[in-house]
Structure 1
């Protein structure tokens, strides 16, 4: 069973494009927000400031539209993690109806050198706690 982290978002006027639905760039912004909030939640008791994360790849499937005022539930969980890369999956729902499905591959860097840093047990235990 995957450990799911959830965030609620209400669509605001600045999220809407000229087609009167949430702009695709807004979803990317939300993906960054929930990833940051999930990492902050996971490291709340044991911060790991020696590492930073950068996006290496996004894959996004836009299934349905969201419009002004919609209440969106975003769910995220961590997938395969090895080397210096970690997958993160996200799903955006409106009333339990899937709107967007995404996968992001993140790279972990050393916060001082900005060079890739191998994900070791201390980080792996945060991302994928032992059951």
Structure 2
């Protein structure tokens, strides 16, 4: 599992007094930085490889300014050219949002997906989600 800590900003708080729902997918993306580095070590858009093709977010509890959040990111499934992530946002000891996100390894020069290289696959396998009954 990858963990990323975020300090909510005033600008992310809406008129209802909680973090706006549009911010949550951005925080999930922040939790993927180490995965992005596996595919594009220099994080250059010139060499970018990861393309998001699907995201589903469940909002469970409100999130608030002034209280740190933790984004937890697991690899749920590794396909030939795609991977599915399972993500959670925690605040004050509670899960406040969950997401499942699918990415593909995409070559922009030829405009096609490509298989995930074995060295990246091996690193991703270290972060596989262990399903709990």
Task: Mark the runs of 5 or more structure 1 residues left unpaired by the alignment.
Answer: none
| Matched residue count | 124
Aligned equivalent of 1:59: 56
SS in 2 for 1:56: strand
Tell me the equivalent position of 2:19.
22
Contact 1:66-1:99 at 8 Å conserved across structures: yes
On the 8 A contact 1:92/1:100 being kept in 2, the answer is yes
28-37 vs 60-69, which moves further? 28-37
In angstroms, what is the RMSD of aligned CA positions?
A: 2.4
Q: Please give the TM-score of this superposition, normalised by the length of structure 1.
A: 0.82
Which of the residues 2, 7, 28 maps onto 2:4?
7
> What's the TM-score once normalised by structure 2's chain length?
0.81
Confirm or deny: 8 A CA contact 1:13 1:68 kept in the other structure: yes
Relative to structure 1, is the Cα distance of residues 120 and 38 closer, same or farther in structure 2, using a 3 angstrom cutoff? closer
The answer to whether the aligner puts 1:118 opposite 2:115 as a matched pair is: yes
Asked if the contact 1:10–1:69 (Cα under 8 Å) also holds between the matched residues in 2, the reply is yes
Match of 1:39 among 29, 36, 41: 36
Structure 1 runs of 4+ off > 3 angstroms?
46-51
The structural deviation recorded for 1:68 is: 1.4
Instruction: Quickly say closer, same or farther: Cα 1:37–1:18, change in 2 above 3 A.
Output: farther
- Pairing 1:87–2:84 present: yes
Compared CA separation, residues 86 and 76, structure 1 to 2 (3 A): same
**What is the CA–CA distance in structure 2 between the aligned matches of 1:123 and 1:38, rounded to whole Å?**
9
Say yes or no: does 1:102 pair with 2:99: yes
Deviation at 1:47, TM superposition (A): 3.7
